[in-house]
Amino acid sequence: MTAESAPRWGSTLDAVVVYAQGAVCRRLARGSVPPDGRVRVTGLPRSLDPGSLRARVLGAPEVRVTEARVEVEAEPLGAGGTSDESRREVERLRDAYAAARARRDRQLALIEEIRALHPVPPPRKRDDPHRRTPVDAWLELADFVDERLTALHSRLAELEEALRDVEHELDIATDRFARASTDAPSAYVETTVCAVLTLDVTGADAGVDAEVELEYGVPGAVWVPTYRLSHRQGDGGGRLVLRASVAQRTGEDWTGVRIALATADLRRRTDLPRLRSIRIGRRQPAPAPSGWREPPAGLADLFAGYEAAGPRPAPAGAPMAGGAGSTTLVGAGGFGGAFAGGPMPPPPPPPPPPASQGYGAPPAALPEPGGAYRPAPESFAGMPAPAQPAAPQRSAAPRGGGGFAGPPPAMAPAAPGAAAPAPPPPPAPVAGPPQPSGAELDYAALVLSGPDDQAGRRGRLFPDAPFDPLAAEYRRRAETVAALPLPGHAVRPRESAGSFDHRFDATARADIPSDGTWHTVTVGEIPVGLRTEYLCVPSVEQTVYATLVLSNATDQALLAGPVEVTVDDEFLLTAALPTLAPGGVRRVGLGPAEGIRVTRRTNVHESTSGLRNNTTVLDHRIHVELANRLARPVTVEVRERVPVTSEPDVRIEERADWTAPEEGAGPDRHAPGTRVWRLDLPAGATAALDGGYEIRIPTGKALVGGNRRS
C-alpha cells in the first residue's frame, strides 16, 4: 500500500492556544490502523508550519507514531466545485463600475465639444469694407448650444447618479469579500493539506482502533484583553469578567473549539546556550564529533537500474503535488525512524526562504559526546526552536564524498564570440574531514534527494528543502492580522505582561471565523476586591473625582486593557485598566463627582525673627471646605503638598493634622512632600480642614527679588 492509497482519516479541530502572535492548534482523528500502519489525516490548514507538526496516539499504549510529515495536494475543481459568490460579485461590479465610468467620461467629452461651439467670422481682406454681423445667426447658434447643453447635462446627472450607485455597491461587495472567511477553497483549485503518519502496532493485531492527536503551529492570530466590571455602591466586592478580542486569518474557521490565551512569543528561542570552556595547557578535551559521515559504498550503483529504465512517465489523472514540507519524525518515546521525503524538483532547486521570513524554524540537533545526537529542546508550547544560523565561512575541503553538500554549480556558457575566462585555480585542500555548517547539522530540515535529482545529489541529505511559494503567500496573508488597529485603550499582551508569561483558559467553547476581524470571546470571571473612594487635589483643581480601588487576590495577573464599568446596572464609562499583578492594588478613575464640592483658600504672611531679624518667616495657611450633596456617606481623600528642602539651614515646620502616606502603601505612588487628609462625610454634611506650614529661611539664603508666594 502506497502513501497515495493509504486510508484517510478525517480530523476535527478541538483546541487552540492563541499566543501574542500565532497559535498552536490541536486536532483529533480516529480510525482503524491498517496493516502497514500508513494513514493520511486530512483537514489541516494551508498556512501551517510544516516543521511544527507533532503527533501522538491517545489511549492506546500499544500504538505509537514513528513518522509524520506534511504533504500538499492540489487538483482542479470540476463543474460541481465550490463557487466563490463573493469574488464573482466583486468582479461583476468592478466591470459595471468601469462601464459606468466610461459612459460618464464620454458624456463629459460631448459636453466639452458642444461648449466649444462659437461663431467664427470669415476672414476679411484688406480692401473689403466692414460687413454687418448677422445677429439672427448668432442667436440661433446660442439657442442650439443652450438647448443641447441642457439635454447633455440632464443625461450627465443620470450617469453620475448611476456611477455613484455602482461605486457604493462595489464598496459594499469589496468590504464583504475582505471580511469573508478564508476557510474556503479557491474557485479554480482545491488544495488539500494532510499529515502522512506511520503507526507502529506493538503487541496487538492490525485493525485496532486508535485516536491520534495532531499539534501544529499557524501564523495569523492575535488577541488583546478586555474587561467588564460590575459594581454596586456600598458593596466591598465586584464582578470582573475577562474577555478577549481575538482576530485570526489562519485559513480555517475555529468552530466549537476550546480557546486558551497566552502572552508568550512563539518565535522566541527557549533552548539553553551551550557554554564551552577554554583551557590553557597541553591537556585539552576531546573535540566534539562533527556529524559528518562517509557516504555508503556503492551509492552510485543504487540508481543504475533506474537510469536503465528511462524517464518515468507522468501518471494520468494523478493530483498535482503542491510541495512537501520537511519531514518531522515523532514517536511516543522520542524521535525515531529514518528521514524520508518526496523527490525534489529538477535541478537547480529554488533557494529556501531565510529563517526570518518563515513562521518559526525546525529544531536544531546538538551533538552529544560519543557520536549520539538529540533534538533541540522544544519551547513551552511544543513549538520547535529556530534553527542555528549557518556559518559565514565554509571549509574549502572537497565534499564530493560527503553526505551533506553536492558538487559546485556548473558554469554558464559564454556568449558567442567572447573570450572564455580563465578558470579559477582549485582551492588548496584542507586536511581533515569537511566541517558542516549549522544548517547542515539541522537534521530535521535535511531532505533526502530522490532519483530524479542530479547524479551527485541522489540518495544524500541536503539542507535546501524545496520552496513552496503558494504556502509562503498563505503565511504572508495570514500575518496581515498583526497590523489590525487595536480597540480603544487596548494594549498588546507582550507589552503589558512584562518579563512574565501568563495563560488564560476559556471556560466555554467559542467560534472564531477566519475573516481577519476582531471577535469578542468571554474567558471567565475573576473575583476582585472593590471599594469606592473620592479623591481631590484642590491645589491643582477644585474638583472631586470618583475612583474604584481594585485589589487582585488571585494568582493570575490582570493585563492592561479597556474595562467597561457598570455601577448599579447602569453603564458608566470605558476606562483603561493598568496591569495588576497578583496581590496588587490599583486605582481606576471614574470621572468627576458632581455631588461633592470642594473649596480651597490660602493665605501667606511674611515676617522676620531672630536676634537681628536675620531669619525670614513665610507662614502659609490653608483652608479647605467640603460639601457632600449625595444621598449616601462617602470617604474623601484630600491631598496637599508641602515644600521639601535639602538645605540644613532652611526649616519647614508643619501645623496641621494631615498625615504623610507610607511608601508602598495604597494603590498610588506619591511624590515627596505629599500630605493626606482622609475623612468620612455623611449624606448632606459639610466639613472644614485647616492646615499650614512655616518656611524659615536665613537672610543669606534668601533670593533677592524672588517670588516667595509660589
Q: 606-658, pLDDT tens digit by residue?
A: 888 877 777 888 889 999 999 999 888 888 999 998 988 888 888 888 888 88
Helices (H) and strands (E) in the chain, counts: 5, 29
Mean pLDDT of 320-340: 34
Question: Nearest Cα to 28, choosing from 184, 210, 260?
Answer: 210
How far apart, in Å, are the Cα atoms of 207 and each of 36, 63, 247? 10, 11, 41
Q: List the grid coordinates of 682.
A: 455623611
Task: Provide the mean pLDDT of the chain.
Answer: 77
Q: Which residues of 584-597 are buried (b: 16+ CB within 10 A; e: fewer)?
A: ebbbbebeebebbb
pLDDT at 104: 92
pLDDT at 698: 85
By mean pLDDT, which of 13-27, 173-187, 268-282, 446-460 is the weakest?
A: 173-187
pLDDT-derived band at 378 (thresholds 50, 70, 90) equals very low
384 close to 392: Cβ distance less than 8 angstroms? no
Q: Does residue 564 register a pLDDT over 80?
A: yes
pLDDT at 371: 36
Sorted by sequence, the CB contacts under 8 Å of residue 289 that are 6+ apart come out as: 367, 370, 371
Place of cell 495569523: 220
- Show the 3-state SS of 286-297: CCCCCCCCCCCC
Residue 99's H or E segment, with its range, is: helix 85-115
Residue 657's H or E segment, with its range, is: none
Q: Does residue 116 register a pLDDT over 70?
A: yes
Question: Nearest Cα to 363, choosing from 340, 393, 330, 324?
Answer: 330
Q: 477-535, pLDDT tens digit by residue?
A: 888 889 999 998 999 999 988 888 889 999 999 999 988 899 999 999 988 888 888 99
Residue with the bigger pLDDT between 286 and 396: it is 286
pLDDT at 4: 59
pLDDT at 336: 32
**Max mean pLDDT range (184-193, 339-348, 447-456):** 447-456
Residue 363, Ramachandran bin (φ over 0: left; ψ between -120 and 50: alpha; else beta): beta
DSSP state, residue 424: P
Residue with the bigger pLDDT between 660 and 399: it is 660
Q: 34-57, pLDDT tens digit by residue?
A: 888 889 999 898 888 888 899 999
Mean pLDDT of 298-309: 82
Residue with the bigger pLDDT between 396 and 676: it is 676
pLDDT at 399: 37
pLDDT at 397: 36
pLDDT at 464: 60
Q: 232-285, pLDDT tens digit by residue?
A: 876 767 789 999 999 999 888 999 999 999 999 888 777 787 787 788 888 877
pLDDT at 628: 92
d(CA 224, CA 245): 5
By mean pLDDT, which of 81-90, 342-351, 453-462 is the weakest?
A: 342-351
By mean pLDDT, which of 294-303, 500-509, 592-601 is the weakest?
A: 294-303
pLDDT at 370: 36
Q: 425-470, pLDDT tens digit by residue?
A: 666 666 666 667 766 777 767 778 878 777 778 888 877 655 667 7
Question: Nearest Cα to 577, choosing from 546, 548, 535?
Answer: 548
Q: 540-560, pLDDT tens digit by residue?
A: 999 999 888 888 888 888 999
Mean pLDDT of 163-183: 81
Place of cell 510529515: 69
pTM across the whole model? 0.62
Residue with the bigger pLDDT between 400 and 95: it is 95
Mean pLDDT of 136-153: 89
d(CA 597, CA 627): 5
561 close to 227: Cβ distance less than 8 angstroms? yes
Mean pLDDT of 316-345: 36
pLDDT-derived band at 185 (thresholds 50, 70, 90) equals low
pLDDT-derived band at 307 (thresholds 50, 70, 90) equals confident
Q: Does residue 389 register a pLDDT over 50?
A: no
Q: Is the peptide bond before 451 cis (omega within 30 degrees of 0)?
A: no
Sorted by sequence, the CB contacts under 8 Å of residue 211 that are 6+ apart come out as: 28, 29, 30, 57, 58, 59, 60
Length of the chain: 710
pLDDT at 448: 81
Residue with the bigger pLDDT between 317 and 148: it is 148
By mean pLDDT, which of 191-200, 398-407, 421-430, 542-551 is the weakest?
A: 398-407
Residue with the bigger pLDDT between 689 and 437: it is 689
